[in-house]
Structure 1
Amino acid sequence: GSASGGPDEAVRQADRLAKDAGAPASGTAAAFVNAARELGMTRVSLATPYDEAQTETLAGYLRAAGFDVVRAVAGGPASPAEAAGWNAEAQAKLVREAAEPGPDGVLLACTALRTAAHIPQLEVAAGRPVLTANQVSVWEALRLAERRVREPALGTLFTVLPPVRG
């Protein structure tokens, strides 16, 4: 689902999809919120390959979800095909810019960005946790399936273990 309708609309979309599918559902914007909360983030920065208007839409979504968005960096406009071609250094440059003035973490939006192989590099560049669109989408799917994977190569998010139940 899109972030343009805000968090409440994202929940409605996921609820409709879950009802139709007979299984839990979510979206990438909601996954960013859930993952950031999992890491205890309250102050976040946003980095996107989008234009300023699209970036502000996502920043507004995050604000409506209760986050203090300390910076929103628009690195585009990039089409999905262009964003898919951004290498690790181009992504690191964007997260470094967004990492100032010291948020709890940086959210790197856009499912077209190929980030999985270098999330640890992005976290080093930012000096704090970085959450990427595909990373949080996979994490959210695992969370909804009540599964956890501990894999530091996938970033700080994949080092957090769930609370012990019982």
Structure 2
Amino acid sequence: MPTVGFIYPDHAAEDDYPFAEQLLGPGFSLPVEHIYGTDLHAVPELLDLGSEERLAEGASLLAKHEPDVVVWACTSGSFVYRWEGAQEQVDKLAAVAGKPASSTSFAFVRAAAKLGLKRVAVAASYPEDVAKLFVEFLGRGGIEIVAMSSAGIDTAAEVGTLAPESVVDFAVFHDHPAAEAVLVPDTAMRTLGVIPTIEARLGKPVLTANQVTIWEGLRLAGTVPESVQLGELFQCH
């Protein structure tokens, strides 16, 4: 049974992970441990949140679960380091955990590649300066952004209070005719329960932060099960 451990910042939408575990069935374990810092969507605070020391603490907390893989479940706390810094971040996490490691930012790039996506729209909850760093990161991963929206929400806690219908509307409203998919990059946003609804309204895939984070962990663990509830990404074997 693969065990994928997730380091999650503070508290917001972490219940997406036990929900996914329930959807995937008894063969999968997705334990979550928390690290704490400010939940402000601002570059200095995000650099602190994703620091080597904080992630080492998260890896230590996950050790009791004996994970096969460890994933930093934070988009902004990884892409804010830019491509090379984010790679160094996961390399150090893998070294301290003694396990393969990744982060949500790389999960987006690899999930897009798995679906063969070249052009996407980004529906970001972040302030614009932070959202632009995500766009830059995707560009380094070979993805063209045809539209980018920024909701300007300052804290993860506020994002976590969004109602399901608001999440659906947010993703759908920020689609673009030239986009092959819509990307929603905030692990603080509770999305797993509404992915089928979003995809049905869009008529195209949606990639959300917690969805791709879970997929990336399972991919590294060597097994990604099919799940209609988790969207097209979990149906493209």
TM-score, normalising length from structure 1?
0.91
Aligned pair partner of 2:195 in 119, 123, 128: 119
Native 8 Å contact 2:168 2:194 kept in 1: no
Alignment-mate amino acid for residue 26 of structure 1? S
The answer to whether residue 97 in structure 2 is matched with residue 21 in structure 1 is yes
Structure with max Cα Rg: 2
> Once superposed, which parts of structure 1, at least 4 consecutive aligned residues long, lie more than 3 Å away?
none
The Cα offsets for residues 99-122 of structure 1, whole Å up to 9 and x where unpaired, read as 113311111011111111111111
Amino acid paired to 1:40? G
Shift of residue 92, structure 1, vs aligned partner:
1.9
Change (3 A) 1:88 1:78: farther
What residue is the counterpart of 2:233 in the other structure?
157
> Displacement, 1:78?
4.1
Q: Equivalents in 2 of 1:32, 1:48: separation in Å?
A: 13
Matches of 1:55 and 1:92 in 2, distance apart?
19
Provide the rounded CA distance (Å) in 1 between the counterparts of 2:190 and 2:178. 25
Give the match for residue 123 of structure 2: 47
1:126 maps to amino acid: L
TM-score, normalised on structure 2?
0.65
Aligned to 2:141: 65
Counterpart-to-counterpart distance in 1, 2:100 and 2:235: 23
Q: Percent identity?
A: 38
**Separation (CA, whole Å) in 2 of partners of 1:127 and 1:12:** 37
The answer for unaligned runs of 5 or more in structure 2 is: 1-76
Secondary structure of residue in 1 paired with 2:178: coil
Quote the RMSD (CA, aligned, Å). 1.3
- Counterpart of 2:217 (choices 115, 137, 141) is 141
